[in-house]
Chains A and B, each alone.
Chain A
Amino acid sequence: MTRRLISLVSLIVLLLLCFSAPAFAHKVYLYAWVEGNTVYTESYFSGGVKVDNGLIQVFDPAGKKLLEGHTNAKGEFSFRIPEKTDLRIVINASMGHRSEYILKADELGGSSASETGNKPAVDVTKTEPSAPVQVNADEIRKIVDESLDSRLRPIARSIARLQEEKGPGFTEIIGGIGYIFGIMGLLLYFRNRKK
């Protein structure tokens, strides 16, 4: 192993780095969001390729399968909320690609969440003197909840997407190469001490 060979291969590695920076390899992403009582999911491979006809399975926290289906050509699949529990949504794309997304029960929204929210509301409104306010407070709360939900949903979606799409960055790539050479250094050190 000469210096020239090392520098050649290092050059190749560097060239590969330049090519690789924008295109992050194969990984499947799944994200899900709720609108009304329907759960929407979208699945795609890194690079933006949609998962066509991927198998989606939905499990409850106990691991019982609630339903399954296939994504369409746009990678989308939607279903009505089967149960108000945490939902584990699993995508199985072809050739060993798999990913999952956990949709928490409180993200499912709907009646169960607003029922629990009502209890303190009653206490507050009872201290209020006038009856009409009591009715209105509940209604206002409901309306505010609904409009907040619909306003925040796109933001929640884009946050989910941002988190998911984060592929390996420059730091990870350089870090990995650094680890490899660190291991090399350790090996050389220990073998050298033996001599």
Chain B
Amino acid sequence: MIFVVFLFGENEERAMHISEGVLSAPVLISGAVIAAGGVGIGIRKLDYDRIPQVAVLSSAFFVASLVHVPIGPSSVHLILNGLLGLLLGWTAFPAILIALFLQAVLFQFGGVTTLGVNTVTMALPAVLCYLVFRKGVMSEQPKVSMVFSFSCGAGAVFFAGILVALALMSTGKSFSAAAKLIVVAHIPVMAIEGIITMLCVRFLKKVKPEVLEVTHD
């Protein structure tokens, strides 16, 4: 895998985790406030029986960032926020917060001060895609369900890129340039996560459909 990464080695990386010291205080604070709101809603909606599910998906998110996708113009990694949103709804907020905190502390990805902003950029698209695509994913027709599952996985990555570009706007970067750079770099990730989400939904529908049917709102 390292070998492949080196093949594509001459390009910069464009990733979702924003490091410390890049953003200004107002952006950091508003990120933290929105994240706190989302986590609050998520915790209120968290019922006892689903705590293990949240933990398992949180650790999947935690590890996903270590998986490089060496396809395309630059090396990026998996995010899996669409899958988390679809299976957890608003509870994706606390799940992603915990995973991001541990990534910041153990891997030095992102940072503790940017925890709020990073949580929002990844968990908000998760919830958004959950709200938009859930009905379609639950469709009886397999094809419709597949299309919506794919869109959920890919769309969450897309919106995360848009939000990162929005946050970086405060550093004086032009939004369109930053957004283009991030979104283009993540096209392979969108495709892969769309497929992962599709496979997961198909598997769950066969094996344990009630996991998908639970509403989180």
Binding site for B on A (CB under 8 A): 1-2, 4-6, 8-10, 12-13, 16-17, 19-20, 22-28, 45, 47-52, 54, 73, 92-99, 167-168, 172-173, 175-177, 179-181, 183-184, 187-188, 191-192
The one of A4, A13, A45, A168 in contact with B13, judged by C-beta atoms closer than 8 angstroms, is A45
Chain B positions within 8 Å of A177 at CB level: 59, 62-63
Q: Does B187 contact A (CB under 8 A)?
A: no
A23 adjacent to B68 (CB under 8 Å): yes
CA distance A13 to B99 in the complex (A): 13
A-B contact count (CB 8 A): 176
Cβ–Cβ contact B207 & A4, under 8 A: yes
Q: Cβ of B13 and Cβ of A97 under 8 Å apart?
A: yes
Q: Is the CB of B107 within 8 A of A172?
A: yes
The 14 listed contacts between A and B (C-beta, < 8 Å) are A1-B211, A13-B56, A16-B60, A26-B15, A27-B108, A28-B19, A47-B5, A48-B5, A52-B12, A176-B99, A176-B103, A176-B107, A180-B102, A188-B52
Closest Cβ of chain A: how far from B3's Cβ, in Å? 9
- Confirm or deny: B22 has a beta carbon within 8 angstroms of a beta carbon on chain A: yes
The 0/1 profile, CB within 8 Å of A marked 1, for residues 43-64 of chain B is 0000011111111111110111
Contact status B19-A9, CB under 8 Å: no
List CB contacts (< 8 Å) of B165-217 with chain A.
Answer: 167-168, 178, 181-182, 203-204, 207-208, 211
Contact A9 to B107, CB < 8 A, known contacts A16-B63, A26-B77: no
B54 touches A25 (CB 8 A): no
A120 to B126, CA, bound (A): 67
- Judge whether A1 and B49 touch: CB under 8 Å: yes
- Quick one: CB contact mask for B1-42 with A, threshold 8 Å, 1 for yes? 110011001111111011111110000000000000000000
Q: A23-B5, A180-B102 are in contact. Are A97 and B15 (CB under 8 A)?
A: yes
CA distance A49 to B10 in the complex (A): 6
The CA-CA distance from A187 to B70 in the complex, in Å, is 38
Knowing A23-B68, A95-B168, A98-B21, the reply to whether A9 touches B211 (Cβ < 8 A) is no
B residues whose Cβ falls under 8 Å from a Cβ of A: 1-2, 5-6, 9-15, 17-23, 48-60, 62-68, 70, 75-78, 98-99, 102-103, 106-109, 164, 167-168, 178, 181-182, 203-204, 207-208, 211
Shortest beta-carbon contacts, A-B, top 3: A20-B66, A184-B55, A96-B18
Q: Point out the residues of chain B lying under 8 angstroms from A52, CB to CB.
A: 10-12
**Chain B residues closer than 8 Å to A27, beta-carbon distance:** 107-109
State whether B17 touches A26 (Cβ < 8 A): yes
Q: Say yes or no: A188-B106 contact (C-beta < 8 A), given A26-B17, A45-B12.
A: no
Query: Could you tell me if B12 and A22 are in contact, using CB atoms closer than 8 angstroms?
Result: no
With both beta carbons as reference points, the residue of chain A lying nearest to B5 in the complex is identified as A47
Instruction: Tell me whether A95 and B15 are in contact in the complex, defined as CB-CB below 8 angstroms, given that A5-B211, A176-B59, A191-B51 are known contacts.
Output: yes
Q: Using A6-B53, A52-B10, A181-B55 as known contacts, list a sample of 9 further A-B pairs with CB atoms less than 8 Å apart, ordered by residue number in A.
A: A9-B56, A19-B67, A20-B67, A26-B15, A27-B107, A94-B181, A173-B63, A187-B51, A188-B48
Residues of A contacting B59 with CB < 8 Å?
Answer: 13, 176-177, 180-181
* In the complex, residue of chain A having the shortest beta-carbon distance to the beta carbon of B66: A20
Name which residue of chain B comes closest to A100, CB basis.
Answer: B21
Residue from B51, B98, B203 having most chain A Cβ neighbours under 10 A: B51
Cβ–Cβ contact B77 & A6, under 8 A? no
